[in-house]
Structure 1
Amino acid sequence: MKLGTLCYIENNNKTLMLHRIKKQNDIHEGNWIGLGGKIENGESPEECVIREINEESGLILKEPKLRGILTFPSFANDDDWYVYLYTATEFEGELRDSDEGVLKWIDNDKLLDLPMSQGDKLFLKWLKEYNIFSAKFVYENSILIDYDLTINA
């Protein structure tokens, strides 16, 4: 089991996205995604998302908001992934290049036009509809074959 974080940062009706085109053997290669990564030993999800955003973008998050928990059974290398999903609007610092891809502020009304995993398109919509939710996404060969959504207050 792997634990991770994922964050979508919004500013002026745009969302910061990462186009994954730089890493070798990247399961997300060619897709646009939010920023985040693996939780390290002894680290809380909040500490992880703040660290990962800073490492990947140079930005320092202020008060990331937990919005959901995403479950991906047997996702990469047959590992189950549990991902804490965050949004943020408060940050400081200057955007810098990422080792993992190209960072770009995308107009919110254009997000779903980007190449991304099928599940990402679903939970990006849910971020607009629900305060907090839990979802499970089942993929086979990078194709979404099933999902389940639980809406919390």
Structure 2
Amino acid sequence: MTKLATICYIDNGKELLLMLRNKKPNDVHEGKWISVGGKLEAGETPEECAQREIFEETHLIVKKMDFKGLITFPEFTPGHDWYTYVFKVTDFEGDLISDEESREGTLEWVPYDQVLSKPTWEGDYEMFKWILQDAPFFSAKFTYDQSGNLIEKAVQFYDN
């Protein structure tokens, strides 16, 4: 079965907003630093999903967002291939949600030079690099085994 989701990198010009997933029970991302995002709801466009998820998870309102790529995660959760739309947000307004209000994890602005030192999925390190380097539009695939080890990766970059 196919699942559609968004991954949203929020960039303030010197830091990326990351979330330490430390609040949801039985969270596949538990203990990892990831970007915000989530599953598309019925009738939603990827952009609408990204804006909704960003607001729900951070309380920030998106003013400018760029579509950076698409990532396929075969069998990331049992029986489900995940297709994720990747966005980079560089213009937003509002105040971050408090740690007490956040249901999924602890948010932190992470300086660019520290992003790659945070524990996360091996494939996320690649995505962090692409986002920080403002790589061209991409289509990628990351395949993980049941233990969470990256066993296959592929990427195609497209010229604008």
TM-score interval, smaller chain: over 0.9
> What is the root-mean-square deviation of aligned Cα atoms in Å?
0.9
Structure 1 position 55, deviation (Å): 0.2
TM-score scaled by length of structure 1:
0.97
Say yes or no: does 1:72 pair with 2:73.
yes
Structure 1 position 88, deviation (Å): 0.8
1:4 corresponds to which letter in structure 2? Answer: A
Match of 1:50 in 2: 51
Out of 147, 156, 159, the position equivalent to 1:150 is 156
Identical columns (%):
46
Match of 1:109 in 2: 113
Identify unmatched segments of 5+ residues in structure 1.
none
Alpha-carbon distance in structure 2 between the residues aligned to 1:80 and 1:72: 6
Out of 124, 128, 134, the position equivalent to 1:120 is 124
Say yes or no: does 1:99 pair with 2:95.
no
1:18 corresponds to which letter in structure 2? Answer: M
Alpha-carbon distance in structure 2 between the residues aligned to 1:2 and 1:116: 21
Render the CA deviation track for 1:40-68: whole Å, top value 9, x for unaligned: 01000000000000000100111211001
TM-score scaled by length of structure 2:
0.93
2:59 corresponds to which letter in structure 1? Answer: G
Match of 1:139 in 2: 144
Matches for 1:8-87 after TM superposition, within 5 Å = 8-87=9-88
Alpha-carbon distance in structure 1 between the residues aligned to 2:72 and 2:79: 13
Identify unmatched segments of 5+ residues in structure 2.
none
Alpha-carbon distance in structure 2 between the residues aligned to 1:63 and 1:126: 19
Structure 1 position 112, deviation (Å): 0.3
